Amino acid sequence: MRQLLEKALGAPIVLEAKDGEEALRLTWAHLPRVVVMDITMPRMNGLQATKKIKAECPETKIIILTIHKEEAYREAAMESGADAFLDKHAILTDLVPTVRDVLGQPHA
Amino acid sequence: MLDEKQLLELLANGTPLRDTLEALCRDVEERSSGMLCSVLLVDPDGLHLRHSAAPSLPEDYIRSVDGMAIGPSAACHGTAAYRKSLVIVSDIASDPLWVDYRDLASRHGLASCWSTPIFSSDAKVLGTFAMYYPTPRKPSAEDLEVTERASRIATVAIERKRWEEDRERLYQEMLAYRDRLRALSVANLKAREDEARRIARELHDSAGQILVSVHVALQELMLDVPPAYHARFVDVEKLLKQVEDHLRRISHELRPTILDDLGLKPALEFLARGVSARTGVRITVDSSTGGRLPPLVETALYRIVQEALTNVAKHAKATSVRIELERGGQGFRCVIRDDGCGFDVSGILARQGQRGLGTLGILERLEALGGNLQIISAPGAGTELRITIPQETQDVPPVGRG
């Protein structure tokens, strides 16, 4: 995913967090323009982390990327303040366009 | 003399055994001036006699006799208990049976004594009943008859009391067993739920993530292989998707991840959609609980609704079901109402008991949380299940008495 994003976006820095709490720390430290967030994570799940990030850094765009397909997860993601919801199966085709979408960039 | 009826009245009023036996002694003592009575009971060790009642004998004498060993020459009482028969000593001062207690008796002006065993209804010695006189004498025929009757009445009193004690002990044991059973049931439910959660997570998340990686890897590979092979890749992807769907279904049947990740209402809506799709019954879920409930309550209510919907699908012939969740000052309320055929609740209870209602699993869950189930139904009038769970439900559920 890192390669995919760096290659497609020419993004200078892509940070990785291993759980929700680390995601919060890194986000607050680096104020990235976009966060790609899993739901199932140790310590703090992606929905809770999204809520907290959006409360502190509303400018940061958040894409929920998950294996959960149920509509309830999509609704919960939107309620938590996420900007997009993406099925992991579509990562190859949809991740980069979705990142561009939330950043308001034209598609390549 | 105190008759059995009066005695049973005394006992029924909860009079302690010692008081009843003292009343018996006093009653006998009234018959003859100077005569004194005592009751000794066999110690649980079976080897000694213990003071029980002797309302008129001096303290010092009572203390000295208390704990007397049962044996072949142990005054009147110990000997009567040993021989299992009446022992008569008309002159304590000269009788060898009293050699150890002679001085004690004379100090207190006791000159003659007879003692008879008090037998249980299965002929075991429970204790002894004794009569003393201040002068050397043989018992009159009436003395012996009264002694005999007094010992029989003592039998009734002692056995009745022991029966009550046994009953109380058994009752307490039963309560303790019931509490242990409840605690086991709670632990068992929790263990089953933890296991279901663990396996569901493994299937859905761990295996699911790996399968997604395989899926993505296949897509990447497909970019590098000639178009002639694409159809084969698509076939493999279809198979992969079947595996994923299968694992996802098993995982959700075990315990939907939605319940832990998103809470009770989304989980119930998910459950309702599944049941609706299978059965055609329209199911609505309304919740005014606002936010998450305690984990134990969420699990219990999810399983309860699951069982209720299974019952509806099996028996109710309903077209719609409404599920309502509420949080009140007292706790949580869940109502499950269907428009099906209904049934005669009291009739089924009378014929088949709780089992017939198919709600044992629901009751097991509720009992663990101190909750309550009410079933309102009548033939042709649908069925309504009203469930309440108290607020103070903690992680370690109370094992209440009730």
Q: Find, in chain B, the residue whose alpha carbon is nearest to that of A66.
A: B209
Q: Give B-chain residues touching A92 at CB under 8 angstroms.
A: 216, 219-220
CB distance from B208 to chain A under 8 Å?
yes
Give the SS3 label for residue A80: coil
Q: Do A92 and B216 touch (CB under 8 A)?
A: yes
Contacts of residue A86 in chain B, CB cutoff 8 Å? none
When pLDDT is cut at 50, 70 and 90, the band that residue B3 belongs to is low
> Measured between beta carbons, which residues in chain A are less than 8 angstroms from residue B248?
69
B209 touching A (Cβ < 8 Å): yes
Q: What is the pLDDT of residues B65-81, one digit of tens each?
A: 999 999 999 999 999 99
Chain B closest CA to A74's CA: distance in Å?
11
Taking all residues of chain A, what is their mean pLDDT, rounded to a whole number?
88
pLDDT over 50 at B399, yes or no = no
Q: pLDDT at position B1, please? A: 59
pLDDT for residue B396 is more than 50: no
What is this model's ipTM?
0.84
Separation between Cα atoms, residue B38 and residue B47, nearest integer Å: 19
Task: Give the number of other CB atoms < 10 A from CB of residue B252.
Answer: 20
CB-CB under 8 Å, A91 with B257:
no
The answer to whether residue A7 scores a pLDDT higher than 90 is no
Interface size between A and B, measured as CB pairs under 8 A: 41
Contact B332, B380 (CB under 8 A): no
Residue B395, pLDDT score: 46
- Pairwise CB contact (< 8 Å): A89 & B269: no
Alpha-carbon Rg for chain A in angstroms: 13
How many angstroms separate the CA of residue B316 from the nearest CA in chain A? 28
Task: Quote the pLDDT of residue B350.
Answer: 81
The residue among B250, B286, B281 whose CA lies nearest residue B268 is B286
Q: Does B212 touch chain A (CB under 8 A)?
A: yes
Q: Which of A76, A88, A89 sits opposite B262 (nearest CB)?
A: A76
Identify the closest residue of chain A to B202 by CA–CA distance. Answer: A40
- Report how far residue B97's alpha carbon sits from residue A81's, in angstroms, rounded to the nearest whole number: 99
Nearest chain B CA: its distance from A43 CA (Å): 12
Residues of A in contact with B208 (CB under 8 A): 67
Q: How many angstroms separate the Cα of B189 from the Cα of each of B254, B296, B299, B309, B397?
A: 14, 11, 10, 20, 12
Tell me the pTM.
0.68
Q: Please report which confidence band the pLDDT of residue A1 belongs to, taking 50, 70 and 90 as the band edges.
A: confident
Q: Which residue of A has its CA nearest to B237?
A: A89
A29-81 pLDDT tens trace: 888 889 999 998 888 889 999 999 999 889 999 999 999 988 899 999 999 99
Confidence of residue B369 (pLDDT cuts 50, 70, 90): confident
- CA-to-CA distance for A102 and A98, rounded, in angstroms? 6
Residue A40 and residue B219: Cβ atoms within 8 Å?
Answer: no
For β-strands B36-42 and B49-53, DSSP reports them as antiparallel
3-state secondary structure chain B: CCCHHHHHHHHHCCCCHHHHHHHHHHHHHCCCCCCEEEEEEECCCCCEEEEEECCCCCHHHHHHHCCCECCCCCHHHHHHHHHCCCEEECCCCCCHHHCCCHHHHHHCCCCEEEEEEEECCCCCEEEEEEEEECCCCCCCHHHHHHHHHHHHHHHHHHHHHHHHHHHHHHHHHHHHHHHHHHHHHHHHHHHHHHHHHHHHHHHHHHHHHHHHHHHHHHHHHHHHCCHHHHHHHHHHHHHHHHHHHHHHHHHHHHCCHHHHHCCHHHHHHHHHHHHHHHHCCEEEEEECCCCCCCHHHHHHHHHHHHHHHHHHHHHHCCCEEEEEEEECCCEEEEEEEECCCCCCHHHHHHHHCHHHHCCHHHHHHHHHHCCEEEEEECCCCCEEEEEEEECCCCCCCCCCCC
Dihedrals φ, ψ of B29, to 5°?
-60, -30
* Residues of chain B found within 8 Å of residue A75, distances taken between Cβ atoms: 266
Q: How far is B381 from chain A (nearest CA, A)?
A: 33
B80-123 pLDDT per residue, tens: 999 999 999 999 999 999 999 999 999 999 999 999 999 999 99
